[in-house]
Amino acid sequence: MMEGQVDLCPEVEKTFELIGKRWTGLIIYVLSSGPKRFSEINSLIPDLSKRVLTERMKELEEHGIVLRQVIPERPIRTVYLLTKKGSELGKILGPISQWASCWMKEK
């Protein structure tokens, strides 16, 4: 490998593709504070449509990042929470949030 060249393995590319999708990082960030109902996630990210949220949640479930848990009380509730894999990814988003607060201030 030449000096200054970055080695992009398929796993790195796949990860950046996943978290680079619009809203995915924010969904993981919101869930890093604990389990949330669909409506809570939707209200915490106001510009996110329910259709896109549904798509992203299914994708995150398929990748083993989010777990959909049905709580069998009356009325039946469904919550979404990060898996261990998702929690590890969520830890990375905290420093990104700090960077954003410092460097992406509105002008």
The helix or strand, by DSSP H or E, that contains position 66, with its residue range, turns out to be: strand 66-71
Domain chopping of the chain, boundaries: 10-101
Q: 57-66 pLDDT, tens per residue?
A: 999 999 999 9
Residue with tokens 């919550």: 79
Q: Which CATH architecture has domain 10-101?
A: Orthogonal Bundle (1.10)
Q: Look at residues 99, 32, 38 and name the one whose alpha carbon lies nearest to residue 65.
A: 32
Quickly count: other Cβ atoms within 10 Å of residue 45's Cβ: 17
Average pLDDT over residues 41-69: 97
Q: What percent of the chain has pLDDT over 90?
A: 64
Exposed, middle or buried: residue 21 (CB in 10 Å: 0-12, 13-18, 19+)? Answer: middle
Q: What pLDDT, on a 0 to 100 scale, did the predictor assign at position 91?
A: 92
Indicate the pTM of the whole model: 0.85
